[in-house]
Amino acid sequence: MVGHNVRNGDADIDDPSDADIVIRAMGLSKWFGHVRALTDASFTVRSGEVLVVLGDNGAGKSTLIKLLSGLYDLDAGSLEVHGVRVRFRRPADAAAAGIATVYQDLALVETRDVAANLFLGREFTWGPFVDRARGMREADRALKLLGVKIPSVKVPISYLSGGQRQAVAVARATVHGASIVIMDEPTAALGVSESQRVLDLITDLRASGRTVIVISHNLQQVWDVADRFMVMRLGRVAGIRNRSTTSVDELVRLIVYGSPTEPSGDAT
């Protein structure tokens, strides 16, 4: 039923129908002066999947997601979201297309409570006043929907654990209606059990019908939640694989060598 389509040299990609594609990236490139941070990246993201972006430091992962988030403008290439050609010049453009990004630093305001953080800059109002009660109700609802357990939406962010903060940042991304959530290294600063909770959150996002793009350099950790992997190396897409048809070994070879097979030749 599913045909095979070869791209990026060795990419193993099933051919999804257009209706299933939420993002289509064609030849994305970005350079900073002489540094080519991203070169000719082409890939698709499918509705309701968890796509894990893998790669070593400097591989171009953050640059790629900043292009998808409207933080950077493209130097070359084009983007379609839900079949519509888009050009993101600022984060609000990506938000309007239904893309929300949770950055590594989370950008939460430590001294303000959970509810305030969820609706920062987009407060509910009642006449000329900020409707705090409504903000709290909506915040409570959003967190419950995501299965996030936080003692109260009135707790300041500074009281929360790293995992809880990550959850609040994800809730903030989803509360404004994003259908595509991008997370940059969401477990990088977390312990084992908190990381597990964030992985559960990713699964819950998918179960709610959202599409999730997760950047990670911990393959073992994200293996279970991934539907597909995209490996970046030296600013290029080295390969795209379905979890069901790849292996940790193959992905590691793609990350390290940029090829599914070890290069021949022995130095010794």
Say which entry of Mg ion, ligand ADP, none residue 37 contacts (CB below 5 to 8 A, set by partner kind): ligand ADP
Burial, 47: exposed, middle or buried (Cβ in 10 Å; 0-12, 13-18, 19+)? middle
Q: What are the angstrom distances between the C-alpha of 41 and each of 31, 37, 94, 187?
A: 13, 11, 18, 25
Q: Which residues contact 156 (CB under 8 A, 6 or more apart)?
A: 110, 111, 112, 113
Write down the least CB distance from residue 188 to Mg ion, Å: 9
Is 214 within 8 Å of 206 (Cβ atoms)?
Answer: no
Query: CA 28 to CA 257: how far, in whole Å?
Result: 22
Write down the least CB distance from residue 58 to ligand ADP, Å: 4
Write down the least CB distance from residue 203 to ligand ADP, Å: 24
- Asked whether position 58 contacts ligand ADP by CB under 6 A, the answer is yes
Nearer to ligand ADP by C-beta: 56 or 204?
56
Say which entry of ligand ADP, Mg ion, none residue 55 contacts (CB below 5 to 8 A, set by partner kind): ligand ADP
Choose the stretch contacting ligand ADP; rule: CB under 6 A; options: 3-11, 52-60, 86-94, 194-202: 52-60
Nearer to ligand ADP by C-beta: 30 or 197?
30
Q: What are the angstrom distances between the C-alpha of 131 and each of 46, 51, 93, 115, 127?
A: 37, 37, 27, 11, 9
Size of the site for ligand ADP (CB under 6 A): 11
User: Can you count the helices (H) and strands (E) in the chain?
Assistant: 8, 14
Q: Lay out the site mask for ligand ADP across 59-98 (x = CB under 6 A, - = otherwise).
A: xxxxx-----------------------------------
12, 22, 44, 55: residue in contact with ligand ADP (rule CB under 6 A): 55
Cα 182–chain centre separation: 2
Say which entry of ligand ADP, Mg ion, none residue 32 contacts (CB below 5 to 8 A, set by partner kind): ligand ADP
Binding residues for Mg ion, per CB under 5 A? 61-62
- Asked whether position 148 contacts ligand ADP by CB under 6 A, the answer is no
Query: CA 8 to CA 169: how far, in whole Å?
Result: 34
Binding interface with ligand ADP (CB under 6 A): 32, 35, 37, 55, 57-63
